[in-house]
Amino acid sequence: MEQQGSVIGSFLPLIILFAIFYFLIIRPQQKHQKAHRAMLDGLTKGDKIVTSGGLIAEIVKTEEDFIKIKLNEDTIVRLDRSFVAKKEEVTGSDA
């Protein structure tokens, strides 16, 4: 019996360290990925986005894995959804 208690006692710091690691690193990253996935699923025609490369564009058409974006009046390109960094929020001064 005494040996079993010492085994649990020796693993307790490791368990506590894993719990801290989970709540400070893993869980917030999972929440961020879930929010980013929801943002990608909610993209619609006319939304303004910022790509991973820093380009600001307007969505022309959404497809399954790609979106067509308008960079300026003449340039429309296809972009993989995974390269959308964020959706630009329209503020009162931009509208």
Tokens at residue 79, please? 């972009």
pLDDT tens string 8-40: 788 889 999 999 999 999 999 999 999 999 999
Instruction: Provide the pLDDT for residue 6.
Output: 78
pLDDT tens string 42-70: 999 999 999 999 999 999 999 988 999 99
The DSSP output letter for 90 is P
- Cα separation, 29 vs 49, in Å, equals 22
- Cα separation, 8 vs 32, in Å, equals 34
Instruction: Provide the pLDDT for residue 59.
Output: 95
pLDDT band at 89 (very low <50, low <70, confident <90, very high): confident
The CATH number assigned to the domain with range 44-95 reads 2.30.30
Instruction: Provide the pLDDT for residue 25.
Output: 93
